[in-house]
Chain A
Amino acid sequence: MNFDLSEEQQLLGESVRRFAARDYAFDTRKRILASAEGMSASVWRTFAEMGLLGLPLPEDAGGYGGGAVDLMGVMEVIGEALVVEPYLPTVGLGAQLIARAGSAAQRAATLPAVAEGAMKLAFASTEEGSRYDLARVATRARSEGGGYVIDGTKRVVTGGPFADRIAVSVRTSGAEADAHGITLLLVDAKAQGLVMTPYRTLDGQRACDLRFDGVHVDSGARLGAEGEALGVIEGVVDFATALVCAEAVGAIRYANEATLEYLKSRKQFGVAIGSFQALQHRMVDMMITYEQARSMASLACTVVDAAPSPAERRHAVSAAKIKIADACRHVSQEAVQLHGGMGMTEELKVSHTFRRLTVIAQQFGDADHHLERFAASS
C-alpha cells in the first residue's frame, strides 16, 4: 500500500501550482473571463510548454503516456485556481477518444498538434433528452458516398467554442437507446451545415449547442468501428470523471481554506466567529468531507489507470462520483453560508468556487445517476 504520489508526480504538481500562483491569480482569471475570447492563449501555450497537454497522450503520438494518477496534481490545481481553459475537454475527453479509438493516421494527424497546443478538442455527447445516458443518442449519421451525413442536435458541448475538432457520438443504426449502433465521428468545427450556439456556463467556462444540418464528413472522420463506439466512450468518460473528481478535491480544499480563514478573522460580538461551537462543528464536517473526497478521487484515478473490467471500473468510478457530488454540494453550500453575504458576491473567489463545484456535482452524472449505475454494476 502506498498513497503517495511519485516524486515525478509531486514535482509536476508543484510546478503547476507555482504557475497558477504566479500566472493564474484570481484577478487574472477575472480578466480572462471578461475577455472576448473567454480563455487565455498564453496560458494554453504555457500548458503546452510544461508538457501538460501531452501528459496523458501515448508516447508514439508526442505524449508522455501518463494516466489519471499522473494528472491528479494538475487537476487539483485546476480546481483550486478555477482554470477555465478547456483542458478537460481537450486532453481528458477529445484526445483520449482519438488515442483509444483512432487509427495510426488519425492519431498522427491530431495528437502531436494537441500536445504542442496547436489544436483544441471537445466531445459532443449530451442531447436534449439524454440526461447523462451515453447510449441515448438520437443524432443520426447515414452513409453517403463513402462518408457520412449528420443530422441532429448536441447540447452543452463544454469547450466547444474553442475547439478545432469535435468528436461527436452519432447513431448509425438501431433505436435511440440501443447500446449498439453508436459511432464516433471527428468533425471539423467549421464544417458546412454545423450551426453553433455558444454561451457561458454557470462556472464561467464556455460551451455550445451544435445543430447538424446535413453535415458531410468523409470516411476518414470515423474513429473506430462503425456502430461499436459505446465501450470506448464509456471508458473515456470514466477517465474524465476520475479527473474531475481530482479537480473537485482542489476546489474543495480552496473552499475549506478560505472558510477557515474567514472563521478565524471575521469578528462579531467581540470574538472571531470561529470561536462559536456551532460553526466549529460545521467546519469540522467540511474537513471530513474533504478527506473522504480525496480518498475517493484516489480510488477513481487508480482504478481507471489499472484498466480492470468495465464492470469493476464503473463500480469504482460511480462510487467516487457519488461521494464527490455529495461533497461538492456540502462544501460549496456551507462555504457560502459560513461566509454570510460576502460568500455570495462576485467579488469573492469563494462564490466562483461555489459555481464550479455546483457544475462538477452534475458533470458526467449527478449522484442519482451514479447511484443507479453503481446499483446496476453490483
Chain B
Amino acid sequence: MDLNYSAGEVAFRDMVRGWLRENLPAELREKVVDYDHFTREELLRWHRILARQGWIAPAWPQQWGGNDWSPVLRYIFDEECGYAGSPPLVPFGLAMCGPVLIRFGSEAQKARFLPRIYHGEDFWCQGYSEPGSGSDLASLKTRAIRDGDHYIVNGQKTWTTLAHYADWIFCLVRTGDAQEKKQEGISFLLVDMKTPGITVRPLMLMDGGHEVNEVFFDDVRVPMGNRVHDEGKGWVVAKYLLSHERLNTARIGTSRRELERLKEYAGRQGKGGRTLLEDPRFRDRLTRLEVELTALSITNLRFLDQLRGGRAPGAEVSMLKIRGTEIQQMLTELMMQAAGPLAQPFAPLGDAPDFDLYTAGFAPRYCNFRKTSIYAGSNEIQRNIIAKMGLGL
C-alpha cells in the first residue's frame, strides 16, 4: 500500500500548479477569495483561458478536445484549480450537456454544439426541477406537444442556476401521455433561450444574491432537431448524466484553501489576551475539521484508485457529496464564529468608506452555503441512493 501520488502524478500536479500561478488572473482570484458573485463575462473569461490551453474539457473524447487524463489526473487538476482560487466552471455545458451529446447526440448536434460549448461561445443552463418536482424529478409536468416539425413547450422550470446568463437551456419535458409510468414519456430538448415565449424571473436568495431563477415556457416552439436521443428516452439521458458525474463533488481543494484562510483570520483575532487560534476550544473545532478534511481527501483518492480498476462509481459519489458539503458548510460556520460579533454587519447604508466588506462577506457565505446540502440531489436523497445502491435496502 502506498497512499502517495506516483512520480508522474506529482509532476503533473506541479505543472498545473505552476501554470495556474502564471495564468489565473489576480482580479478573478480576488473575487473568489472575497466570495463575490461573478458576471457572465468573468465566468467566460476564465473558461476561455482554459479552452485556449486545451484544458477546459479533459473528460471529453480527444476528438472533441478532451485530454485523455486518468481519473486521478482529472481529480488533481480540479483540486489544484480549487486550491488556487479559480472561478467556478459552470458545469451545465461542459459536464452535463456536452457528455450527453457525446453519448446520445446526432452527428449534426455534436458538430453544432460541442465546439461552441468547448470555446465558451454558448452559455448553458439546466431545466430540470419544477415547482412540484424536486427530489421526485420524474413527476415533472412541463409538456411538449408535436406540431409539424416542432414541439410546442408549455410549463415552468425552477431553481435554474444562471438562467439569466444563459444562451441555451437543456430541458426534461413530458412528451408522452399521462397514463404511462412517470419515468416514461420524458424527452430531452435543447432550447434556445431567445425563443419567443420564454420568461426568466429571478429567485432572490437570503444572502441577497441572484443565482437561481424561474423559467416559464409559454407556447415555445422548439425544432424537432433539438431533441437528443429518441422521444420518450429523456429519463435514460438524465440517468446517464447522474452516473456520469465525476468524483470531484467533494471540492477538497477549495475547502483546503478556505481552511487556510480560516486559520489566517483566526490568527489575527484576539480573544482573552491571545489569538483565537490559540484558544483551545476554537482550536479543537478547527483541528476536527482539518482531520475530517484529511479523511475525506484520502477516501476520495481511495475511491479514485478503485475506479482505476475500471468499475463505475456508485454510492461513492453520494458519500463524497455528503461529507464534502458538510465540511464546506462547517467552514463557513467557523468563519462566522471566528468573527464573533463582527460577523453581523451585512450591508452598509449610504456612503460608508469605513465599512468592513471583508468580514461582512462571512454571513452571506454561511447563508448561501446552506444550498450545498440541498442542490444536486439533497443529502437526504444521497443517503437514499446509498441505502439502495450501496446497501440493497
Contacts and interface: CB of A to CB of B under 8 A. Distances in A.
A238 interface: no
Interface in B258-293: 269-273, 281-282
Contacts of A315: none
Given A346-B204, A355-B367, A279 B350 contact: no
A346 B206 CA distance: 5
Interface stretch (A56-64, A80-88, A194-202, A226-234): A194-202
Contact of A202 (B133, B346, B350): B346
A267 B132 contact: yes
A126 B341 contact: yes
B205 interface: yes
A344 B348 CA distance: 22
Given A198-B352, A269-B136, A371-B281, A133 B341 contact: no
A345 interface: yes
B346 A333 contact: no
Given A345-B203, A345-B206, A354-B367, A340 B342 contact: no
Interface stretch (A102-110, A242-250, A306-314, A358-366): A358-366
B380 interface: yes
A128 interface: yes
Given A177-B273, A341-B159, A200 B341 contact: no
A19 interface: no
Most A CB atoms within 10 A — which of B270, B347, B373, B378? B270
Q: How large is the interface on A (under 10, 10 to 19, 20 to 34, 35 or more residues)?
A: 35 or more
Q: How large is the interface on B (under 10, 10 to 19, 20 to 34, 35 or more residues)?
A: 35 or more
A351 interface: yes
Contacts of A203: 344
A199 B383 contact: no
A155 B282 contact: no
Contact of A199 (B132, B282, B349): B349
Given A336-B370, A362-B343, A362-B344, A344 B136 contact: no
B282 A368 contact: yes
A161 B345 CA distance: 13
A208 B136 CA distance: 46
Chain A, interface SS category: mixed
Given A198-B352, A371-B281, A345 B373 contact: no
A377 interface: no
B348 A340 contact: no
Interface string A187-225: 000000000011111110011010100000000000000
Given A131-B270, A354-B367, A207 B206 contact: no
Contacts, number: 141
Given A131-B341, A161-B349, A202 B363 contact: yes
Given A267-B132, A341-B212, A358-B363, A368 B345 contact: no
Given A131-B270, A198-B350, A279-B380, A344 B371 contact: yes
Contact of B366 (A211, A278, A343, A358): A358
Nearest to B375: A341
A129 B383 CA distance: 43
A352 interface: yes
Interface string B125-166: 000010011111001000000000000000000110000000
B309 interface: no
A161 B306 CA distance: 60
Contact of B374 (A337, A355, A359, A371): A337
A199 B345 contact: yes
B341 A340 contact: no
B344 A202 contact: yes
A268 B272 contact: no
B340 A362 contact: yes
Contact of B345 (A156, A270, A279, A341): A156
B345 A268 contact: no
A207 B347 CA distance: 10
Interface string A261-297: 0000001111000000011000000000000000000
Interface of A: 38, 126, 128-129, 131-133, 155-156, 158, 161, 177, 197-203, 206-207, 209, 211, 267-270, 278-279, 333, 336-337, 340-341, 343-347, 351-352, 354-355, 358-359, 362-363, 366, 368, 371-372
10 contacts: A126-B342, A131-B270, A197-B348, A200-B346, A268-B139, A278-B380, A337-B373, A337-B374, A340-B378, A362-B336
The 7 A-B pairs of least Cβ separation, nearest first, read A268-B136, A351-B206, A129-B270, A346-B204, A201-B344, A202-B363, A198-B349
Interface of B: 129, 132-136, 139, 158-159, 203-206, 208, 212, 269-273, 281-282, 336-337, 340-350, 352, 354-355, 360, 363-364, 366-367, 370-371, 373-375, 378-380, 383
Given A197-B355, A362-B341, 18 more contacts: A38-B349, A132-B340, A156-B342, A177-B273, A199-B355, A202-B346, A206-B349, A211-B354, A268-B134, A278-B383, A337-B378, A340-B134, A341-B129, A344-B370, A351-B367, A355-B206, A371-B281, A372-B281
